[in-house]
Amino acid sequence: MIAFDKAAGAALLALHAGEPVHLAGTLTPKVWTPANGEPRLVLDMVAHACLTTYAVQRQRKAAADVPSKANMRTLEPLDDGRPWE
């Protein structure tokens, strides 16, 4: 895994073994031949973006904290109808 974006690299480094992750980037299949001579398939990925379950939970919490339109109606309107001078 290669990550050039600092945020994607930091997210990857913060992961623990077995944690799910979603990556966006370019994937290149290659063949690697070890010393014993049996070729193996290798996938190289350059990650441009990384989405973890922690980030999704954080985004959902932030979205839940934003007042909905129903809650906005209870707030006093800021526009008094007069033009700015």
In tens, the pLDDT along 8-31 reads 788 888 888 888 888 888 999 999
Residue 83: strand, helix, or coil: coil
Q: Return the number of other C-beta atoms located less than 10 Å from residue 19's C-beta.
A: 10
Residue numbers of the chain with a pLDDT score lower than 50:
none
Q: Is 52 helix (H, G, I), strand (E, B) or coil?
A: strand
Instruction: Answer yes or no: pTM beyond 0.75.
Output: no
Query: Tell me, what's the pLDDT at 12?
Result: 80
DSSP state of 67: P
Tell me which residue has tokens 């980030």. 55
Please count the other Cβ atoms lying within 10 Å of the Cβ belonging to residue 15: 14
